[in-house]
Amino acid sequence: MSPPFRAEQIGSLMRPPDLLAARSAAGATTSYSKISDELHRATEVAIGRVVSKQVELGIRPITSGEYGRDKFYSGFFEQLEGMQVVKDIPVVDGFRTGFPTVTVLQRLGVSTRDSVVAVDKIRHVESAYLSEWKALSALLPPARWRECKLTMPPITHIHMQMVVGTAYSASAYSCDEEYFQDLAAAYAAEWQILYDGGLRSIQIDDPCLLFFVSEEFRSGCSTDGVDPDALLDQYIWAHNLCLAGKPKDLHVGIHLCRGNMVGSTHIISGSYERIAKRIFSRLNYDTYYLEYDTERAGDFQPLRHLPIGKNVVLGVVSTKKADLEDIEEMVARVYAAAEIIARGQNRTVADVVDTSLGVSPQCGFASMSQGGGEGMSMDLMWKKLVLVKELAHRIWGENQGA
């Protein structure tokens, strides 16, 4: 099965000034803020405009731009029964040793961060993202709902960041396996509700999974008495636990990048090589959205581990810099990646290009409300997305999945 779209986007879009002003006025400036009715209305207006623009330009998949969220991971964990928002956790003592995000936050002068802890058994009692999906789908006829995508944080997001043993209280869970099993059931319930509402494509955003290529993180794990390779195995199991309960024709892909903070700030550098064989062969996602816009991401060699039947969307257009990429160079890069995959699968390059590849920006344009790459503007954002569409047209012609 080829990717749903040959020309992709990663989901988050730059917020217009009036929406940012509305969020600020409502005090919705943290990851786990509650949205007031007034802000909800302002958000729906902004989503209406951004959806109209995507339709006008032929950008696919169509997303809400994550306009209802402060950060890409907002909205899910805090909605679950048994989970409690904990404010102002010190970044030095409250998060894992060597956690790369902490290093960046300290450099930016951030000393505390909020998180969500399981203080009781986790239960899914109300959908986190159904209102977001309704705001998006209401703007389109049902026949076009298959052209849409919604994003979600990964099951491992909280567990990976918190100091070992603090993602849940001892009164709630006795071990990680119990915690992840209940979380996976919550994901399955959320996916089923969204599926029943007409959604057919979900993207899981997991920038932290690539921390396993970082010596800083791996050394921190060892300091904390954790085997990083065993932890990665556990996370692969947890991801797959979620996927085991999804509807068969619900497409779920995973986005793996290296961080996307304000001002083009990334979290780590490094090739996929160290974890490529395990994540490509053992994670049960349909599609991998990969960051490949600069040398910081490494070369295409890790793609030799991609099994037949899995898809890769190559993030060859940067959301971090304003310069528009050269389309001929990108075409050449796509075929270079296809050659690596073809050799690993004993297939022809043409067959790999035809069945297994798509193109996209390397990340979202605003993974947080105040996001945006250095020198990036709304106008440039749309030009970049149109460039992705033109790149797909150059390679696949009219049949782009839209």
Domain-embedded: residue 402: no
Average pLDDT over the chain, rounded to whole? 91
Domain-embedded: residue 295: yes
Q: Is the pLDDT of residue 216 over 50?
A: yes
Number of residues in the chain: 402
Q: Could you tell me if 34 and 75 are in contact, meaning their C-beta atoms sit under 8 angstroms apart?
A: no
Question: Cα angle vertex 96, ends 95, 97, to 5°?
Answer: 120
Encoding tokens for residue 83?
């989970």
**For the ranges 13-22, 27-36, 308-317, 368-377, which has the lowest average pLDDT?**
27-36
> In which domain, by residue range, is 125 found?
17-396
Q: What is the pLDDT of residues 378-394, one digit of tens each?
A: 999 999 999 999 999 99
Instruction: Render 121-134 in DSSP notation, one character per residue.
Output: EEE--S-SSHHHHH
265: which strand partners?
A: 261
Sheet holding 287-291, edge to edge: 150-152, 201-205, 251-256, 287-291, 311-317, 357-361
Domain count, the chain: 1
Q: How confident is residue 43, by pLDDT bands cut at 50, 70 and 90?
A: very high
**For the ranges 12-26, 140-154, 359-373, which has the lowest average pLDDT?**
359-373
Encoding tokens for residue 84?
């409690």
Euclidean distance between CA atoms 86 and 71, whole angstroms: 16
Domain-embedded: residue 337: yes
Report CA Rg, the chain: 20
- H or E element in which residue 37 lies: helix 37-57
pLDDT at 32: 75
Euclidean distance between CA atoms 10 and 365, whole angstroms: 8
Q: Is the pLDDT of residue 316 over 60?
A: yes
Q: Could you tell me if 31 and 70 are in contact, meaning their C-beta atoms sit under 8 angstroms apart?
A: yes
Domain-embedded: residue 5: no
Domain-embedded: residue 3: no
Domain-embedded: residue 164: yes
Instruction: Render 204-265 in DSSP notation, one character per residue.
Output: EE-GGGGGGG-HHHHHHHHHTT--HHHHHHHHHHHHHHHHTTS-TT-EEEEEE-S--BGGGB
Share of the chain above pLDDT 90, in %: 72
Tabulate helix, strand, coil % of the chain (nearest 5).
45, 15, 40
Domain-embedded: residue 102: yes
- H or E element in which residue 87 lies: strand 81-90
Euclidean distance between CA atoms 221 and 98, whole angstroms: 7
Q: Is the pLDDT of residue 204 over 70?
A: yes
Q: Could you tell me if 300 and 267 are in contact, meaning their C-beta atoms sit under 8 angstroms apart?
A: no
Q: What is the pLDDT of residues 73-112, one digit of tens each?
A: 999 999 999 999 999 898 888 899 888 888 777 777 788 8
Euclidean distance between CA atoms 135 and 139, whole angstroms: 7
CATH code where residue 181 lies: 3.20.20.210
| Pairing status of strand 112-123 against strand 81-90 | antiparallel
Domain-embedded: residue 129: yes
pLDDT at 224: 94
